[in-house]
Each structure stands twice: as structure tokens, then as C-alpha cells.
Amino acid sequence: MNKRLAKTCMAAACAVVVALASLTGCANNTAAVDETAAKNRQFMASVNQVMVDMQSALEDFSDAVGSGDVVSMKTQAGNAADCVEALDKLEAPDALKDIKQDYVDGVTSLQKSLDDYIALYADIASATQDAAFDWSSYSDRIADIKASYDEGIEKLQAGDKAASEKE
């Protein structure tokens, strides 16, 4: 009977060890999921900060346009370029790389529209009677600037939509 009791105790002990090992494995999986979620949240928080900075640059650019201040326009376009660079440098978790690309493409397109607007504005401002501005190209250039801007907004919206679907 002692042998039988010993075998039963041994079987029970083995079952407890297997159960504990399974629980530990589940806990490790939960920790991995928590770590992945934390990295995703951190990345999205960093993206959000860059977007706040980009919004500020766009608002300040708009103010500079309103006052006709080309120097400030260039400064704000430079700030937008800094946002593109900052966003491009962010390390995206694998699951969010496509979202990062949408955001990078979006801010790049917005920044291009700012640069193109400055170039147009400078061309108009530097025109003289001897070297007049070619007004026949004006509407095409404005359309290109608007298309770049709209493309940037669409990419950012696509990134936002993709991010919200991953939650």
C-alpha cells in the first residue's frame, strides 16, 4: 500500500509541476502580449507628438502666408521638414510599419506642398516689369500644390484609419 500511495503522490506531484509549467508559459505569453502592446502604444504616442508639431508648423505657416512673411514661411516649412525627419526616424513595431509609412508619406506630401507654395510665392514676389511672372502657369501650380496637400491629408487619414482598426 505504501508503494501505491507513493505512486499516487508522485503522479499528483507531476501533475502539479505540469500545471505550474503551463501557467508559467501562459504568464510569459501574457507578458509578451503586454510588452508588444506597450511598444505599440509608445510608438503611437510618439507619432501623435510629431503630428502635434506638424499641426503647429502648418498653423504658423498659414499665419506667415497671411502676413506675407516669406522668411517665416521658410522657417515653418523647415519645421515641417523636421517633423518628416523625426517621424522617419521612429522605430515602428512590425505590426505598425504600414501605418508609419502612411504617416511618413502624408507629412512628406504636406511638406512638399509648403515648399511648392513658397516657390510660387517667391516667383510672384520677385517678378519685375522686365521679368514678369508667367500667370498662365499659376492655376496649374496652385492645382499641383493643392493635390500635394490633399494627398498628404489622405495618407494621414489612411494611417489614422489603419491605426484605429488595429486597436
* Grid coordinates given for 77: 516649412
Q: What is the pLDDT along the chain (167 residues), one digit of tens a residue?
A: 445 544 444 444 444 444 444 445 544 556 556 788 888 889 899 999 999 998 999 999 999 999 989 899 999 999 999 999 999 999 999 989 999 999 999 999 999 999 999 999 999 988 888 888 889 999 999 999 999 999 999 999 999 999 888 76
pTM reported for the whole predicted model? 0.76
Nearest partner of 51 among 84, 89, 97, judged by Cα: 84
Burial class (CB in 10 A: 0-12, 13-18, 19+), 153: middle
pLDDT confidence of residue 31: 59
Burial class (CB in 10 A: 0-12, 13-18, 19+), 1: exposed
pLDDT confidence of residue 165: 87
Give the C-alpha separation, 5 to 36, whole Å.
46
